[in-house]
Amino acid sequence: MLQTLKKWLSKLRSAFSLRKKDAATKPKQRRQADTRTNFYFREDILDQLPRLHDHLSRLKKADADAYDFHSKYGARLVSKTHDASNFDIAKTPSAGMVFCNGKQKGNKLEINFIYFREFEKPYMCKPNAGRVFAVYMSFDVDRKFSDVVEYFVSIQGDEISLCRTRQNGFKYIQSRSAGKRGPMHTIRIPQFRWGYSEKLQETAMDNDVTPEELAIQMFLFGASAWHSSTDDGLVIRCNDGKTVATFNVDTKRTPYFFKDRITALAADGKRKRIFHYVKAHARDMGDDTNVTVKAHYRGERHFRWGGDKVSITVPGLHHGKKWADFNVKAHLLEDGKQTSKYLTASQVGDRLAQHLEK
């Protein structure tokens, strides 16, 4: 009887320890609460912010104009749940940049940024009747240098097409300097053709897709992700002193996201409350009367968080509801041509930043 009892106790102990082990090793199912564009969990962005700032700083050598503009206008962190399938391409803004953070991967490269800019009849692009965008994909060559793949797309109605661009080259002709008896030499004649860049074709080949498929997929992802930044939630701008990262969070999640912020004390000596939404409610005035308080926002919108200076804005309240509908076309000048007729990329970035950080 005693031996039987010991066996049962041993089996029970083994079964209990096995269940504990299974429970400990089973990954906890995290509720996927990111809605369209908003970030819901801090860990989804805390590791991305320093990477975005670092990668955007490296872009300065590879594409100075893009750095001058987007380091001030902002590069957007993209939620893992972002879906570009239902994007209305008619709403494509004239400029934007998104940080992919490995979301779009190839066999031989990991794209860091997708950014785009609309141009007014770029001289190196084959003429067409639609809106013409230059699209750029940047990726790291090493830890200190970024390279950029550039191409152009055209939007006509609800169709996107990859544009052929001017590809400069040379034609080589063998000739003799003095008829049939002279020494052979090579004559180099400049020429061009309409086609796709070698970089784009190589990148598409590495990803087992056609240049058209790669170009349109990347453009749609970047344009839709940037435009969706005004769809819902609060716009967060994080400035580390050199570059700006932007992302959206749900209105109710600001106390959770910025609980470790650096803030000043209020007049009563308590810590200022973070920017938040207050529902409409009735307030007792103390004399048997109630006053209805309209829904409103209140709280601290500007503060330090980690190494960044943060500003929180509500589209439609602090700036235009559709600030992502920025529709000013850029003009691409040929090398060596300068004019005071246009603002530089840096000047436009400064003005947009001032508008968005009020």
3-state SS track over the chain: CHHHHHHHHHHHHHHHHHHHHHHHHCCCCCCCCCCCCEECCCHHHHCHHHHHHHHHHHHHHHCHHHHHHHHHHCEEECCCCCCCCCCCHHHCCCEEEEECCCCCECCCCEEEEEEEEEECCCCCECCCCCEEEEEEEEEEEECCEEEEEEEEEEEECCEEEECCEEEEEEEEEEEECCCCCCCEEEEEEEEEEEECCHHHHHHHHHCCCCHHHHHHHHHHHHHHHHHHHHCCCEEEEEECCCCEEEEEECHHHHHHHCCCCECCECCCCCECCECEEECCEEEECCCCCEEEECCEEECECEEEECCEEEEEECECCCECCCHHHCCCCECCCCCCCCCCCCCCHHHHHHHHHHHHCC
Say if residue 348's pLDDT is above 60.
yes
The predicted model gives 58-62 an average pLDDT of 85
Residue 188 lies in a domain: no
Specify the pTM: 0.76
Say if residue 133's pLDDT is above 90.
yes
Residue range of the domain that includes 207: 38-162+197-356
Residue 26 lies in a domain: no
pLDDT for residue 30: 45
Q: Considering only residues 289 and 349, tell me which one the structure prediction assigns the higher pLDDT.
A: 349
Residue 347 lies in a domain: yes
Residue 23 lies in a domain: no
Say if residue 83's pLDDT is above 50.
yes
Residue 245 lies in a domain: yes
Residue 30 lies in a domain: no
Say if residue 275's pLDDT is above 50.
yes
Residue 207 lies in a domain: yes
Domain count, the chain: 1
Kindly report, residue by residue over 135-176, the tens digit of the pLDDT: 998 877 666 667 888 999 999 888 899 998 887 776 777 776
Residue 169 lies in a domain: no
Provide the pLDDT confidence category of residue 15 given band limits of 50, 70 and 90: very low
Kindly report, residue by residue over 239-254, the tens digit of the pLDDT: 999 999 998 888 888 8
Kindly report, residue by residue over 290-346, the tens digit of the pLDDT: 888 888 888 889 999 988 999 998 877 777 655 556 778 888 776 656 667 788 888
Using a pLDDT cut of 70, give the percent of the chain over it: 76
pLDDT for residue 29: 45
